[in-house]
Amino acid sequence: MTSKQEDNDRSKERTGNAEAAQQVFYSARNHEKVMDSIVDEFAKKGGFDDLPGKGKPLKLKEGDVLSHVMHEARIMPPWLELQREIAKEMRRLLAKQEAGRDLVSDQEIEALNDQIRQFNRSVPSSLLQKGLVSSANLAVQIEKWE
């Protein structure tokens, strides 16, 4: 195949792609016109007259859409789930410490600090990172987690 034929084929391909894109565009515009006419007809028949809240301002949620959707779906980022787990474990260890039953072991504190290190690596900002705990500062540190 000569380079002139190849150029001709490429030109036809581009033209075909442009025509397909134009058809999609016109189809979307036609769909928009159809939807507009349906809404207009509904309004003319009084379909919007008896809606609850008519004449009142809309109650719009503040914040970004993603946060709202995640809240409604009860989805939480992994680092927030980990934060809750750490706070729960801290409360458990503090209750154990305050009850005086058993001393909080070094292994329990180290396991908690491993979770805190994991949390600190996963937060989206270093401003959200937390300090490690010891059995001596557990009561003070728990306030920073709740």
**Which long-range CB contacts under 8 A does 81-85 form with residues at least 24 apart?**
82/115, 82/118, 82/119, 82/122, 83/119, 83/145, 85/115
Report the range out of 11-25, 42-56, 132-146 with the highest average pLDDT. Answer: 132-146
User: Which of these, 79, 76, 77, lies nearest to 128 by C-alpha position?
Assistant: 79
Distance CA 96, CA 123 (A): 28
Domain range spanning residue 107?
72-145
Tell me, yes or no, whether 86 and 45 share the same domain: no
24-33, 62-71, 75-84, 106-115: lowest mean pLDDT where? 24-33
- pLDDT at position 135 is 87
Tell me, yes or no, whether 84 and 135 share the same domain: yes
Q: Are 64 and 116 in contact (CB under 8 A)?
A: no
Q: What global pTM score does this model have? A: 0.54
Residue whose token pair is 């680092």: 79
Tell me, yes or no, whether 48 and 82 share the same domain: no
When pLDDT is cut at 50, 70 and 90, the band that residue 11 belongs to is: low
User: Which of these, 78, 97, 100, lies nearest to 140 by C-alpha position?
Assistant: 97
